[in-house]
Chain A
Amino acid sequence: MRAADGTPLKVSIARAMRRNRLLALGLIAPLFFFILFSFIVPIVDMSLRSIDNSVVPGVLPNTTAALRDWDGEGLPPEATFAALAADINAGRESREIGKVATRLNYEVSGMRGTIMGTARKIARIEEGPYKEALIEANKDWGETETWLLLKRLSDPYTFGYYLNAVDMRFDSVGNVVAQPEFRQIYVNLFIRTLWMSLLITGLTILLGYPIAHLMATLPLRYSNLLMILVLLPFWTSLLVRTTAWIVMLQSEGVINSLMVWIGLIANDARPQLVHNKIGTIIAMTHILLPFMVLPLYSVMKTIPPSYMRAARSLGANQLTAFVRVYMPQTMAGVGAGCILVFILAIGYYITPELVGGTSGTLISNLIAYHMQQSLNWSLAAALGVILLGTVAALYFIYNRIVGIDNMKLG
């Protein structure tokens, strides 16, 4: 068969289809590139960074090469000392030696001083024997432990950061051992982050469900008003809302003063409601509430009142009708709300930072600390990847149990 201009119909159709496909590709290209550069590339970069260990082999190439053949007993041979002296000298000139110092200090406190101190003195060491000269410059070079550490960090990749992120570490000979007790913080924080997120999700259901139900059943005039009340905090800056909660909850704050005024509590027994877990839970529940209410509302609005009436006419009392007929139909909204709130909560940062005190901070706060203060970006990345993995795993479980297709966001 041929088209009007004589080309075979098949070719003609294929040409038209290709044009459409190219057009469609062109239309999604901006979004694709945006997601690629703002989402996928950073995530890949982050996961690479969490195993990246290129600093030591990069700045101390000769030393790490020389250490490859060392058996780990006693001290390495003179040639290795010479290689180290050359590397540190080169690193000092390229001003990269500080990176090694920082990297080693993550593993053993004080290594920064060892490296930088040696680097300052290295110019004076002009010829061998380097072994004595280096030990003279810093006595740590006379310790087997120091050299074991360097040998262990010779690989360009390491899982050490992941171990650190779960309160474990490599010992000097490369065995995986638990961190000393006084340095164990991350596992507890992960657990706390998870259960607080779950608790907050549960609270938003408890508070959001009746509101959403009311909004879905009230006449439009009132439900719009309620909707504005729900959304109002949404339109206020997060910082303002969080600070408002501090004003409300602090011990000289509105809520405590009110309770004292009513006579509910004594003036000198004001409970601590902020700068702790309670503060984080209250403020985050409030801030995340709209994310629960909106999907619930959008699902509830589609449930005609006749279902409840039908159930009642069939002999179910109000409660039975609600539990057996209404609630199952809102589960799609509950699921969507839960996923939204939980995933947002698990990565929340600024609110726990401001109202969380010590008992109410979450893992994100430590990630931020490592990003901004300690500059241990690899550990921050490892923590981030674990967090991402946890969310992905929970999502997978959710999908298995509930089915993501049953989720209704609106």
Chain B
Amino acid sequence: MVRGEFLTMLGPSGSGKTTCLMMLAGFEAATHGEILLNGRPINNVPPHKRGIGMVFQNYALFPHMTVAENLAFPLQVRRMGRAEAEEKVKRALSMVRLDSFGNRRPAQLSGGQQQRVAVARSLVFEPDLVLMDEPLGALDKNLREEMQFEIKHIHESLGVSVVYVTHDQSEALTMSNRIAVFDDGIIQQLASPPTLYERPENAFVAAFIGENNKLTGRITHVNGQSCTVDLDSGGTVQALAVNIGGIGERTTLSLRPERVLINPPADKYPNAFEAKVEELIYLGDHIRTRINFAGNDQFVVKVPNAQGHVVINEGGAVRVGWAMEDCRALDA
């Protein structure tokens, strides 16, 4: 991890991301492997000596202390002088725009305010690294989006490294420099948001990040970057060979709905099929179209609501097609 980076651990619940965070913080012992901070192994350093800030899911603000006392706590246990501590608390409060709330108790604050105090508290002692464990999970949607930007902004202005845990992919995509996708305790892919979305390495990542059409089949031919796949539901597809075994092995094809074209120019795409429109859902900026293609009726196409877009009707027949590079052949 690079200094100053915003790294998100993303994954479904139970995928091991919180455990991983707890290992970083020192609350759980790593069974094997080494954890390095600034090049120094910290496996045997107790949590309070690691100098890692942490924001908890439920904020964990001490209810019996005022906001200012909460912020002063990490400074007091470090035996910082009173005046200096007060100064830092003041600065931290103004950073999260809660200057006049120092004497309140956490219970007297709204959820968003408590969240900001928790962030301020994790930063007030100037740690190298801050861990955040689903900090926005308890907030409603609008507040969550507002807080995402605020945290992002604080991160950028302080230059502190952040490890962030969430199960919300849009939150991860919005905030992170890099995202580690977790499943079953293993990092499936560690990459920047665009890479993760555009070039998923395996079927789990493809399915977990964004919407995705999944087609299964068997590889019949490999030709350098491209391969030919016979779909289980019938039909043959040209796909980009990303993460496949040899000929005859099974594969999962991943195809983003927005990369599928309706009525593509003839001969321009190697993949073009006749399909039947099953359902149209009008979503404003685009029309979500579910079509039946080669016996697979869960195939989704996003038709942008652009100037002069194609007019399609429910129950009607339509041609669909896509580029070979947009259809990624992944593990089975």
Name A's B-contacting residues (CB within 8 A): 304, 306-307, 309-318, 320-321, 324-325, 328-329, 331
State whether B62 touches A325 (Cβ < 8 A): yes
Q: Among the listed B48, B58, B63, which residue makes an inter-chain contact with A313, where contact means beta carbons less than 8 Å apart?
A: B48
**How far, in angstroms, from A316 to B26 measured CA to CA in the complex?**
13
| A3 shortest CB reach to chain B, Å | 40
Please give, as numbers and ranges, the residues of chain A lying within 8 Å of B56 by CB-CB distance.
306, 309-310
B54 and A313 contact, CB distance less than 8 A: yes
- Cβ of B46 within 8 Å of any chain A Cβ, yes or no, is yes
Cβ–Cβ contact B25 & A309, under 8 A: yes
Interface residues of B (CB under 8 A from A): 25-27, 46-54, 56-58, 60, 62-64, 73-74, 77-78, 121-122, 125, 131
Contact A314 to B125, CB < 8 A, known contacts A304-B58, A306-B57, A306-B58: yes
30 example contacts (A-B, Cβ-Cβ < 8 A) are as follows A306-B56, A306-B57, A307-B62, A309-B27, A310-B56, A310-B60, A310-B62, A311-B73, A312-B26, A312-B27, A313-B47, A313-B48, A313-B52, A313-B53, A314-B54, A314-B74, A314-B121, A314-B125, A315-B49, A315-B51, A315-B74, A316-B77, A317-B46, A317-B48, A318-B48, A324-B77, A325-B62, A328-B64, A329-B63, A329-B64
Interface centre among A304, A315, A320, A325 (most CB of B within 10 A): A315
**Across the interface, do A310 and B54 meet the contact criterion of CB distance under 8 Å?**
yes
Known: A306-B56, A306-B58, A309-B27. A315 touches B77 (CB 8 A): yes
The reply to whether A307 and B78 contact each other, CB–CB distance below 8 Å, is no
CA distance A313 to B60 in the complex (A): 11
Apart from A306-B60, A309-B27, A313-B54, what are 19 other A-B pairs with CB-CB below 8 Å?
A306-B57, A307-B60, A309-B47, A309-B56, A310-B60, A313-B47, A314-B48, A314-B53, A314-B74, A315-B49, A315-B74, A315-B77, A316-B73, A317-B77, A320-B77, A324-B73, A325-B62, A325-B73, A329-B62
Nearest residue (CB) in B for A326 is: B62
Determine the chain A residues whose CB is within 8 A of the CB of B48 once the complex forms. 312-318, 321
B290 CB, nearest partner CB in chain A, Å: 43
Inside 8 A of B47's CB, which chain A residues have their CB? 309, 312-313
Name the A residues within 8 Å of B53 (CB-CB): 313-314
Q: Which residues of B contact A320 (CB under 8 A)?
A: 77
Chain A residue at minimal CB-CB distance from B69:
A324
Pairs of residues from A and B, 6 with the lowest C-beta to C-beta distance, nearest first: A310-B60, A314-B74, A313-B54, A306-B60, A312-B47, A328-B64
User: How far does the alpha carbon of A316 sit from the alpha carbon of B73 in the complex, in Å?
Assistant: 9
Nearest B residue to A327 by beta-carbon distance?
B64
Q: Which residues of B contact A309 (CB under 8 A)?
A: 25, 27, 47, 54, 56, 60
C-alpha gap A313/B47 in the complex (Å): 6
Cα–Cα distance between A318 and B77 once the two chains are bound (Å): 11
> In the complex, A66 Cα to B244 Cα: how many Å?
122
- Tell whether, in the assembled complex, residue A314 and residue B57 are in contact, meaning their CB atoms are under 8 Å apart: no
What is the bound-complex CA distance between A321 and B73, given in angstroms? Answer: 10
A321 vs B125: C-alpha distance in the bound complex, in angstroms? 16
**Among A310, A317, A329: residue with most chain B CB under 10 A:** A310
Minimum Cβ distance to chain B for residue A109 (Å): 59
User: What's the Cα separation between A331 and B56 when bound, in Å?
Assistant: 24
* Chain A hits for B26, CB < 8 A: 312
Minimal beta-carbon separation of B326 from chain A (angstroms): 44
- Determine the distance from Cα of A310 to Cα of B73 in the docked complex, in whole angstroms: 11
In the bound complex, how far is the Cα of B54 from the Cα of A316, in angstroms?
13
Neighbouring A residues of B25 by C-beta, 8 Å = 309, 313
CA–CA, A310 and B132, complex, Å:
11
Q: Which residues of A contact B46 (CB under 8 A)?
A: 312, 317
A28, chain B: closest CB distance, angstroms: 32
What are the residues of chain B within 8 A of A307 when measuring CB–CB? 60, 62
Task: Give B58 Cβ to nearest chain A Cβ, in Å.
Answer: 6
Q: Which chain A residue has the least Cβ–Cβ distance from B51?
A: A315
- A355 CB, nearest partner CB in chain B, Å: 40
- Shortest distance in angstroms between A176's beta carbon and chain B's nearest beta carbon? 49
In the assembled complex, which residues on chain B have CB atoms less than 8 Å from the CB atom of A311? 62, 73
A238 to B121, CA, bound (A): 51
- Shortest C-beta distance, B163 to chain A (Å), equals 13
| Cα distance, A329 to B48, chains bound together (Å) | 21
A314 to B121, CA, bound (A): 8
Specify which chain B residues have a CB less than 8 angstroms from the CB of A325 in the assembled complex: 62, 73
A344 to B53, CA, bound (A): 46
Q: How far is the CA of A325 from the CA of B58 in the complex (A)?
A: 16
Expressed in whole angstroms, the Cα–Cα distance for A306 and B51 within the complex equals: 17
Q: How far is the CA of A369 from the CA of B46 in the complex (A)?
A: 61
The answer to whether B60 touches A304 (Cβ under 8 A) is yes
Residues of A contacting B60 in the complex (Cβ-Cβ under 8 angstroms): 304, 306-307, 309-310
Q: A309-B47, A309-B54 are in contact. Are A314 and B64 (CB under 8 A)?
A: no
User: Shortest Cβ distance from B42 into chain A, in angstroms?
Assistant: 13
Could you say which residues of chain B place their CB within 8 Å of the CB of A331?
A: 64
- In angstroms, Cα B27 to Cα A218, docked, is 16
Please indicate the chain A residues that have their CB under 8 angstroms from the CB of B52 in the complex: 313
Residues of chain A contacted by B78 (CB below 8 angstroms): 315
Closest to A304 in B: B58
- B156 to chain A minimum Cβ distance, whole angstroms, is 23
Bound complex: CA A321 to CA B49 (Å): 13
Cβ–Cβ < 8 Å partners of B27 in chain A: 309, 312
What is the distance, in angstroms, from A112's C-beta to the closest C-beta of chain B? Answer: 62
Whole-angstrom distance between the alpha carbons of A321 and B62 in the complex? 11
Closest to B121 in A: A314
Min CB gap B164→A, angstroms: 15
Please determine whether A314 and B73 come into contact, CB atoms closer than 8 angstroms: yes
- B6 smallest CB distance to A (angstroms): 19
CB of A206 to closest CB in B, whole Å: 22
Min C-beta distance of A327 to chain B, whole Å: 10
- Once bound together, how far apart are the Cα atoms of A349 and B91, in whole Å? 60
What is the distance, in angstroms, from A317's C-beta to the closest C-beta of chain B? 5
A325–B25 alpha-carbon span in the complex (Å): 18
> Once the chains are docked, how many angstroms separate the CA of A325 from the CA of B51?
19
- The smallest beta-carbon distance between A68 and chain B, in angstroms, is 65
B2 to chain A, nearest CB (A): 22
Q: Which residue of B lies closest to A331 (CB)?
A: B64
A319 to chain B, nearest CB (A): 10
Closest to B57 in A: A306
Chain B residues near A315 (CB, 8 Å)? 48-49, 51, 74, 77-78, 125
| Among A306, A307, A314, A315: residue with most chain B CB under 10 A | A314
C-alpha spacing A181/B82, complex, angstroms: 59
Q: With a CB–CB cut-off of 8 A, which chain A residues contact B64?
A: 328-329, 331
Residues of B near A310 (CB, < 8 A) are: 54, 56, 60, 62
Q: Please, how many angstroms separate the alpha-carbon atoms of A314 and B53 in the complex?
A: 6
> Residue among A306, A313, A316, A328 with the most chain B CB within 10 A?
A313
In the assembly, what is the distance between CA of A316 and CA of B47, in Å? 9
